[in-house]
Amino acid sequence: METAYKTYYSQGPKNIVHHSTEELREDFLAEEIFTAGKVVLNYTHHDRQIFGGVTPTDKELEIVLNKSLGVEYFLERRELGVINIGGPGSIIIEGKEEPMVKQDGYYIGKETKDIRFKSDDANNPAKFYVVSTPAHKVYPTVKIAIANITPKVTGDSKTLNKRSIYQYIHPNVCESCQLQMGYTILSEGSSWNTMPAHTHERRMETYLYFDMEADTRVFHFMGEPDATKHLVLSNEQAIISPSWSIHTGVGTSDYTFIWAMCGENITYEDMDHVAMQDLK
């Protein structure tokens, strides 16, 4: 059965000048990513990134997108990144099963036909965050464990932004056509991600915020640097950041996030840094 998705059309900075809070949420926020026993997908026309959650319980799940993408099978012309943020599970790729504990990831190359997602315990399901981008070359499928990544430690506790950036899908770890994906963990007492802020006109990005208590909120900021707006996010919600927008957030307590980018290049450092005096 074809997997449904929610479509988000592209938005330019002029569109959002008069957006109400509700309209901002409708155009940029994915409110529920992990639904027990289901595949939940979102399709943004910003660089045609697909992002969502696969939460298997008592049976295996797969992503079926043939008719809606106009292809024979999901990854005919796409690549896929996966990171498990839930209980232990496994991924079965072309019949070969690999265990996936929390923080295990995968790069799955174009032309992979059969991918199934499974949880060890239906009461503590795996939560596979998945991001797919258009791809035109086959690169090898690689399992990625957080323990094998040397994080980039950045920020400072004085400015409340000390954090470790784990680059999962990055040229240091594996090849990809355009997908870049990683996991950022804030140090205790730090609450700002991606501050100082940046844009990257050449790439869009999506963020998934998670590992939050029920009452914790992240104030996520978006918009052109001199016209920022915010949305309030709770646990396991995701947000689209167009290439022209900053993307930064501050939490009321602990949180973690996964970022995923695609566009013209895979040069992680290719950012347009915003000076503090230019933020409005």
Ligand X SMILES: O=C[C@H](O)[C@@H](O)CC(=O)C(=O)O
Q: Which does 224 bind (CB under 5 to 8 A by kind): Zn ion, ligand X, none?
A: none
151, burial (CB in 10 Å: exposed 0-12, middle 13-18, buried 19+): middle
198 assigned ligand-binding residue: yes
Q: Which does 55 bind (CB under 5 to 8 A by kind): ligand X, Zn ion, none?
A: none
Encoded tokens for 189: 């007492």
CA atoms within 13 A on the CB side of 177: 19
Rounded least distance, CB 225 to ligand X, Å = 14
Q: Specify the residue for token string 């040069």.
A: 267
Residues in binding contact with Zn ion, number by CB under 5 A: 1
205 assigned ligand-binding residue: yes
For residues 280 and 79, what is the distance between their CA atoms, to the nearest angstrom?
37
For ligand X, the closer CB: 141 or 193: 193
Rounded least distance, CB 241 to ligand X, Å = 8
Residues near ligand X, by CB under 6 A: 163, 165, 182, 184, 193-194, 200, 205, 247, 259, 261, 271
Name the strand (E) or helix (H) holding 26. helix 21-28
Name the strand (E) or helix (H) holding 27. helix 21-28
230 assigned ligand-binding residue: no
Name the strand (E) or helix (H) holding 25. helix 21-28
The β-bridge partners of 61 are 117
Residues of span 197-216 touching Zn ion by CB under 5 A: 205
Q: What is the DSSP letter of 238?
A: E
Q: Which does 182 bind (CB under 5 to 8 A by kind): Zn ion, ligand X, none?
A: ligand X
Rounded least distance, CB 87 to Zn ion, Å = 29
For ligand X, the closer CB: 117 or 221: 221
Q: Which does 165 bind (CB under 5 to 8 A by kind): Zn ion, ligand X, none?
A: ligand X
Annotated binding-site positions: 198, 200, 205, 247
